[in-house]
Amino acid sequence: MASSNPDRPDGRRARGAASRATILDAATELFSTHGYTGTTISAIAASTGLRPGSIYHAFGSKQGLLDAVMTSVADRAFGAVESITHDTESAVGPRLQQTARTLVGDPVFLRLFLLLALEKVDDEQVRSIVESVRSRARAAVTTALAPLLDDLPTDLRPVAAEATGRIALILLDGVFVSHQLDSEHADLDQTLALVTAMAELALGQLPTMLGRPDQSSPGGHE
């Protein structure tokens, strides 16, 4: 039986995939700790034991590496969220709480995202990456809240969905920061229940916010 040859195409692909995974892991750790501007390709190379040229070969640029990192962590986070939001058998409140728990429970993803957002990097590609991930987060949360909009007129639902997604993400940002600052004393279940109640209260004010004060609140009664 012939022994495997590491120089064969399949061997090179395996080594390339392993190197790519190593680079992604190191870059994720460094970006989420030091931010984008505070992380250099040289630092990532030192962490992996690879040459900087290997990183550029695999990802093209520092922006390309950031894009791959954000795609990887976002796919992991939103993959878990989508399984929750598509569970139409569960009530909206528990679905929203579980969605929030999943996002807050992935500190690398949110810490990385908030660091990039706060850095205000003067790079259009980096800003585009951040905005793309934010849009995915808003869409995931909006999907979880969508059943609460069923009582609104059809023409108001797109605007209402945008508003609810924005409100929910503002609340989730606060939950994450609070949980990181006071993780020893924070009661996550209690906090998420409060956030859910606040989101539902905000939904009740949507008709007024959208210029339809005579419309009954979503999920409410005439």
pLDDT of residue 79: 82
Reading the chain (222 residues) residue by residue, the pLDDT tens digits are 445 555 565 667 777 788 999 999 999 999 999 999 999 999 999 999 999 999 999 999 999 999 999 999 988 888 877 777 666 666 666 777 777 777 777 878 888 888 888 887 777 888 888 888 888 888 877 777 777 777 777 887 788 777 777 877 787 777 777 777 775 556 777 777 777 777 677 766 766 766 655 544 454 444
Residue 136 to residue 132: CA distance in whole angstroms: 6
Enter the tokens of residue 152. 């609104």
Contact, 30 vs 47, CB < 8 A?
A: yes
Give the C-alpha distances (Å, rounded to integers) separating 84 from 77, 93, 97, 111. 11, 12, 10, 22
Specify whether the CB–CB gap between 165 and 85 falls below 8 A: no
Q: pTM (2 decimals)? A: 0.72
Q: What radius of gyration, in Å, describes the C-alpha atoms of the chain?
A: 21
Collapsing DSSP to helix, strand or coil, 205 comes out as coil
Q: How far, in whole angstroms, is CA 42 from its chain's centroid?
A: 27
Q: What is the pLDDT of residue 30?
A: 95
Q: What is the DSSP letter of 61?
A: S
Quote the CA–CA distance of 209 and 5 in Å, as a whole number.
Answer: 67
Axis-axis angle for helices 124-145, 62-85 (nearest 10): 0
Q: Which tens digit of pLDDT belongs to each residue from 62-87?
A: 999 999 999 999 888 888 777 776 66
